[in-house]
Structures are given as C-alpha cells and as structure tokens.
Amino acid sequence: MPSYTAPTKDMAFLLHDVLKADQSDIPGYADLERDFTSAVLEEAGKVASEVLTPLNIVGDQERCRLENGVVYTPTGFKGAFEQMKEGGWTGLDMPEEFGGQNMPVLLGTAVGEMFSSANQAFTMYQGLTHGAASAILAHGTDEQKATYLPKMVSCEWTGTMNLTEPHCGTDLGLMRTKAEPQDDGSFKISGQKIFISAGDHDMSDNVIHLVLAKIPGGPEGIKGVSLFIVPKFNVNEDGSVGSRNGVSVGNIEHKMGIHGNSTCVMNYDEATGYLLGTEHKGMRAMFTMMNEARLGVAMQGLAQAEAAYQNAVIYAKDRLQGRDVTGVKNPDGPADPLIVHPDIRRSLMDQKSFVEGARAFLLWGAQLIDAAHRSEDKDADALISLMTPVLKGFLTDQGYDMTVLAQQIYGGHGYIEEHGMSQFTRDARITQIYEGANGVQALDLVGRKLAADGGKPIMAFFEMVKSYCKEQDSDEMKDFIEPLKTASKHLQASAMYFMQSAAKNPNNALAGSYDFMHLFGHVCLAFMWARQARAALDALSTGEGDAAFYETKLTTARYYMARRLPATSMHLARIESGADTVMALEADLF
C-alpha cells in the first residue's frame, strides 16, 4: 500500500522564505508566524497520512454503491469524515461568523494539497462543499447565508455543483433543465444533471445542490441561465432537516478513477429550488465557484504527482536491479538500487522539479487570491485571473505526466493495482478534464484573459518578470535568471505573434492556445524556481538552517532550467507555425 508523508518542510520554506507570508500586509497574514503555520501543517499532515491515506485504496476498490436510492460510501469514509469535522478541517479558510477559522486561502491551499495527496476522492466531498459555500457566501441573501453556511462550513451538510447535462458540458447555453417560478418566490426545478461529484452519499445530514437551470421566457443561451439552491431535504423554518425534496440519484457513474467519490446522475423532478444571486446571471455566480474550483483542481494535479513521486522514490531506493555503470554501489547486495541509474534519476528529477515548482506556483496563486479578496488588490486580482487557466491546465497536464512517470518506475508492479500506482494515474486523469477540460482553459487564456483590460494583466506579468530578472542580475543568480529571461522572451514572442496574426485570422491564436498555456506554465515555474533559488541562497548566506535542503533547492532549480525549460522554444516554434496546417483539412478527411 502506498504511503504519504506531508511535505511540511517544503511548504514552510515556500510560505516563509519564498512568499514571505508573515511579512505581508495582507489582513490575517501577520498571524502566519512560523510556529503557527508549522503546527497547522504538522497536524494536517498527520490526518492526511494516518487517517486519509489508508482509505485511498479502500475507496478505489470498494467504490460507492447505490442501493434502493441510497448512496453508500466505502468502508471507513464516514468515520474519517467525522474526524475531519471534529478536527475543524472543513472550515479552515471560512469566515468565523459561520463557524470557520478565517485563515488565509494560502494556508488552506497547503492543507488542501495534503488531503488531496492522501485521498483525492475523499477530499472532494469537502472540496465541493467548500465551493458551494463560497458561492452562497458571495451571492446569497443574508437569510440564505444564515440557513446554509454554518451547516456547510462544518460539513454537517455537504454541497455540489450541477452544471453538466448529457448533451452539454462546456457549452452550457444548450442546457435544458428548467426552473418554473412559483407564487411563493421559489422555483420548481426539473431536468437531469450528470457527472455530479459527491452528488449524494451517507456522510452528511443534507446535500445542498447548486443547480444551473433556465427560467422559461428568459434570454436564449448562456445569458438565460440562473443558479438555484436545491437541498436534498427541505429545510424547516427552525433550520432542521425536513421532508425529502424532488431530487434523486439516477445512477453512480462507472469511472476510470476517483471511485471513492460518488459521481452521480442527478434527476430533478419539480424539486423546490431557491434563486441564488440574480435571475439569468447564474453563470457569473457559478464562476465564483469555478475559479476557486479550478485552483483546487490545479492543486489536485500537483497533489497526485507528489504522492506518486514519494512512492516512486521509496521504490527506487528499495528495488535492486542492475548495477551502476560507474561502479557498484551496493556490493553486499545482489544488485544496486534503481536510483543509481541515470534514467531513473532523470525521471525522479523531472518529478521533483515539477512538484516543488508547481507547489510554489500554486501557493503564490493562493497568496494573490488573498491579496485580491482581503486587500482588494486589483492588480493581484487581474494577475490571478490571468493565471488561473495556466494553473489549472499546466499543473494538471504536467501533474498527470509526472504521475505516469512515477508509475513507470514500478515497471510491471506499477500496472497491477496492488501498489496503488495505477490508482494515482487513474485518479489524476480526471484533473485534466473536470472544471473545464484543459483545451477550454487554453481557450479561456488566449481567447479571453490575454485581451482582458486591453492586455494590461499580461503586460504587467511580463514587466514583473523583467524587473525581477533585472533586480537579480548577479553572478550567483545567473544560472537561473538567464534561462528565465529566454523563456519569458519566448512567451512574449508568442503573445506578439497572436496579436499580429489574429487580426488576419483568429484561428492563428486559437491553434496555438494549448502550446501557449504550457509555455506560460513553464515561465511561471521557472520564475518560481528562480525565487526559490534566491531564498535558498539567502538562507545559505546566513549559515543557519539545513544547508543540504537549500543546496538541494539550488540543484533542483538548475535541473528545471537545464532539462525542463527547453520546452519553451518548442512551444514557440509550434505556435509560430500558425493555423494553416492545423485547419487545412476538411472534416471529412480525418
């Protein structure tokens, strides 16, 4: 069975040495002293390793089951969920007035990564609830907040997001679910939703569905979509759980992975629903959840890669196979451990330089969200809005690839289910798909975010990287700054190409959108590796702390620059080849 050890040391380094969270003037950040964050991270790490990890393979093998309309979660899930509630882990970054602990998203994200690494399918029950609660927090009436939030922050009630229908996922304007207005101000919701994560289960007293539907007579397409709160059980005046609402589980989907999560077909049959936010402005409200959810999925991509990487390292040190060509390393054993072999190192360094770079990128993103929300920092808001599709698309694509690399180190033992490496791969695969498939992220990035506010956010990004490179122009930083400069130039050249060629044909930009997303991701990771190198050099210069840890950071940063960053020139070449060869064929010729 795979094991998991929370990367608390790396997280502390990122929070304090790189992002310097405790020195920030973002409200609440002053509380993030090293002792405090360490205590939280250590405690969360224990829950992850001891409670959630052992249940991961159980969830995969047992799966959820539907019996007589009731969904049962795998053995042990219910007890673990109780422990999460009792430990206060469900409302970490939620407002105190609703029972939360009001911590920054920064810390919530670090903790969330641990839980996702340990058990993605399990953590989704809580993750979806968090997303739904955030939407109610942002768009609900005071009464709605009072009714739902305390119970959802504590996860006594859980939440869901209902967007997809059988015939539409990305293009939600096509949806058919209807919301008929009633005299009392409520609505009757009817229709079918599919792929509803945590759609129903036996771990909470109620499930609060957020459902997108159309009010008849409203505008056509996406502009006529509204968002509704549809509880599984109607809520009585006194806040207690009442009669069953007209919502039922049609089926549990048979999926490639995340078997421990009940992904349901949900049938709404004149279910009572309550408008959340403004009529016909459902998509805007839903986006509150979706941006948060996209960051959460980026986190999952990293989290699976981290868990898989840890187990690959253990196996590579343990499994004896072949001899080091430069000289026997384990003379008393029948063979040397896998880790002596250069190609195994290449794979492990790919993984290590990804997960640590990705974690830095993700936590930086979380810091920007805190700045945007807590300090009303408009620049931070614009930047994280620009980078959200990059975080989601790049971290999940690369996270999946790295998880596959980790599985590969196990050879045939990675293909059988016993060691859990196949599960990491199967679970990670969904992150590239849900919350907007990665092609849609690329479209969002190039079709919407690049042009936002006249291109100011992307220009600000380039300026930020440029200033950093100028400021860090020194001998000791040269190994990191020079590659970052080159990669950033490739990104700028791509953006320039889009601007100049899209006027001729918008497909020139769209045909390069996926490569642009990856090129952008590499620049962000290189930027974060340069910042980690800076922090490591600073720490080393004090002569204090764990020198080996900081030296390892420098080596890993050098690896990323030398071995991963050369991808940017490839992406630029692809982008600059334009749309011609991409679009040349008539559909019939495929």
Nearer to its own copies, 97 or 318 (CB): 318
Only one of the segments 39-47, 340-348, 376-384, 534-542 lies at the binding site for its own copies (rule: CB under 8 A); that segment is: 340-348
* φ and ψ at residue 198, rounded to 5 degrees: 55, 30
- 70-99 positions binding its own copies, by CB under 8 A: none
Which of 12, 241, 433, 460 binds its own copies (CB under 8 A)? It is 433
Largest CA distance in the chain: 83
Which of 461, 468, 514, 520 binds its own copies (CB under 8 A)? It is 514
Which of 33, 42, 171, 482 binds its own copies (CB under 8 A)? It is 171
Least distance to its own copies, CB of residue 379, Å: 29
Nearer to its own copies, 243 or 326 (CB): 326
Tell me if 546 contacts its own copies by CB under 8 A. no
- 291-320 positions binding its own copies, by CB under 8 A: 313, 316-317, 320
Which of 341, 373, 374, 489 binds its own copies (CB under 8 A)? It is 341
Least distance to its own copies, CB of residue 496, Å: 18
Does residue 435 carry a catalytic annotation?
A: yes
Q: What is the DSSP letter of 281?
A: B
Q: Which of 414, 400, 384, 434 is nearest to 303 (CA)?
A: 400
Residue count at the site for its own copies (CB under 8 A)? 94
Which of 56, 158, 162, 422 binds its own copies (CB under 8 A)? It is 422
Contact of 261 with 197, CB cutoff 8 Å? yes
Q: What is the DSSP letter of 249?
A: E
Which of 217, 334, 454, 543 binds its own copies (CB under 8 A)? It is 334
Only one of the segments 73-81, 94-102, 138-146, 164-172 lies at the binding site for its own copies (rule: CB under 8 A); that segment is: 164-172
SS3 letters for 462-519?
HHHHHHHHHHCCCCCCHHHHHHHHHHHHHHHHHHHHHHHHHCCCHHHHHCCHHHHHHH
* φ and ψ at residue 294, rounded to 5 degrees: -65, -40
Neighbouring C-beta atoms of residue 243, cutoff 10 Å: 8
- 515-544 positions binding its own copies, by CB under 8 A: none
- Cβ-proximal residues to 401 (8 Å cutoff; 6+ apart), any chain: none
* φ and ψ at residue 272, rounded to 5 degrees: -75, 125
Nearer to its own copies, 411 or 455 (CB): 411
* φ and ψ at residue 165, rounded to 5 degrees: -120, 165
- Cβ-proximal residues to 278 (8 Å cutoff; 6+ apart), any chain: 226, 284, 285
Tell me if 430 contacts its own copies by CB under 8 A. yes
Nearer to its own copies, 39 or 452 (CB): 452
Helix (H, G, I), strand (E, B) or coil at 585: coil
Which of 88, 250, 507, 540 binds its own copies (CB under 8 A)? It is 507
The single residue of 86, 435, 463, 544 carrying the catalytic annotation is 435
Least distance to its own copies, CB of residue 192, Å: 14
Q: What is the DSSP letter of 245?
A: P
Q: The tokens of 317 are what?
A: 């040190």
Least distance to its own copies, CB of residue 5, Å: 12
Tell me, what amino acid is at 99?
A: G
Contact of 338 with 281, CB cutoff 8 Å? no
Least distance to its own copies, CB of residue 368, Å: 26
Which of 342, 499, 503, 504 binds its own copies (CB under 8 A)? It is 342
Tell me if 434 contacts its own copies by CB under 8 A. yes
Tell me if 332 contacts its own copies by CB under 8 A. no
Q: 418-437 burial string, b = 16+ CB within 10 Å, else e? A: ebbbbbbbbbbbbbbbbbbb
Q: Which of 309, 301, 258, 408 is nearest to 5 (CA)?
A: 309
Tell me if 439 contacts its own copies by CB under 8 A. yes
- 382-411 positions binding its own copies, by CB under 8 A: 400, 404, 407-408, 411
Q: Which residues participate in catalysis according to the annotation?
A: 435
